[in-house]
Structure 1
Amino acid sequence: MGRGLFLTFEGGDGSGKSTQSALLTGWLTAAGRTVVHAREPGGTELGLELREIVLHRRGYIAPRAEALIYAADRAHNIATVVRPALERGDIVIQDRYLDSSVAYQGSGRVLDPGEVRELSLWATERLLPDLTILLDLDVATGRGRLDDSRTRYDRLEAEGAEFHHRVRESYLALAAAEPERFLVLDATASIEELAERIRDRVSVLLA
């Protein structure tokens, strides 16, 4: 059996990653494919501990320390969940990957995005997704959606508008630099339209 498929979802707060991930999973499962779900941070037992530290610890965390915690979570997730699944020929659908660190810990925290990316590539032995689906949404709309669904905000969600504008611009720059890997979708489109466009792109990879 050949190597599986590694699909990641990226986007700002409230962009609809969870909804589209679930729809894609349902479609692939109905087609007889084995799907493994992963997420960062928090996709493993170790990751859950790191997630609690990096997202919910009270008090200041230095930006470089934050980037290193995310990289540690990523290294363990890839080694223990993602690579074994890909080697079995499964399809991995993951909520956030290294592009999130480049956008949030790099551009958001005003660190060098290139250095943050290289840290993640080292941590994962340079594994890149076969497809990254970026659900693009303006900051105000995303915040409005989040406010409707959350009673508790993590450390990144609680950052101000300028932080999230930097994150969005970073995502768009990443997509422009790697158009063959990214599928950029306007997250204000209907759920059905977004799901259809994602299925169309994934069908090409599966052909």
Structure 2
Amino acid sequence: MTAAGHPGLFITFEGGDGAGKTTQASLLEDWLTDAGRPVVRTREPGGTEVGTLIRDIVLHHRGEVAPRAEALLYAADRAHHVETVVRPALERGDVVIQDRYLDSSIAYQGAGRVLGRDEVRDLSLWATAGLLPDLTVLLDLDPTVARQRLDADEKPFDRLEAERETFHVRVREEFLALAAAEPARFLVLDATLPAAELTAAVRDRVAGLLG
């Protein structure tokens, strides 16, 4: 039983676009699965059928989405996702590995869209009945380097990726502020380090949580 009161382990990966969250989440999933741990790998938005529809609106809708509407859509996705996927898995004793959670909303909508940290955090905590991760891995990356990585991928930018650098600077600063406020929950890693070093650091922290 974790300190959060459930038999499973809830791990989230956070950071700006291009920081390598998906890669490190996949490597962690493979390591835990090979060790015989039951793993549920998911993401926000888009971890459910409802979430996939919301993801298309918030990331790929060609028209404008008002900032408060955007925050509410993310919260709606999160409420449904936690209720139908995350909590059931944690109650079974599974390890949930998730790409983005409420810290992304606080950083992107609270700071990036300038809606306010407390307001967006309170909205997400209400939507999830207060569920926080046992561990949040923050892959920290300078927005200029992140943009270079995204450009190299040659993929179309989504609505958030396409925002100006000042937006992404605010997002990064907010992520770091969140980590500083909750050092016990966060593991902050320099995303420019070799992937193998990042993987080792994540595994070491997770191994400690699993006992």
1:99 and 2:119 matched: no
1:45 and 2:49 matched: yes
Deviation at 1:5, TM superposition (A): 0.2
Change (3 A) 1:3 1:150: farther
User: Equivalent residue for 2:156?
Assistant: 152
User: Equivalent residue for 2:73?
Assistant: 69
1:190 and 2:194 matched: yes
Post-superposition, which runs of at least 4 consecutive aligned residues in structure 1 deviate over 4 A?
A: none
Tell me the distance in 1 between the aligned counterparts of 2:17 and 2:116. 22
Tell me the distance in 1 between the aligned counterparts of 2:123 and 2:37. 32
User: Equivalent residue for 1:113?
Assistant: 117
Deviation at 1:69, TM superposition (A): 0.2
Residue-by-residue CA offset, 1:126-173 (whole Å, 9 max, x unaligned): 000000000000001111111111421110000000000000000000
Tell me the distance in 2 between the aligned counterparts of 1:21 and 1:41. 16
Amino acid at match of 1:120: S
Give matches, 1:1-207, under 5 Å. Answer: 3-207=7-211
Show structure 1 runs of 5+ residues with no match: none
Amino acid at match of 2:115: L
Residue identity over aligned pairs, in percent, reads 69
Amino acid at match of 1:164: H
Tell me the distance in 2 between the aligned counterparts of 1:112 and 1:194. 31
Amino acid at match of 2:67: P
Tell me the distance in 1 between the aligned counterparts of 2:79 and 2:41. 16
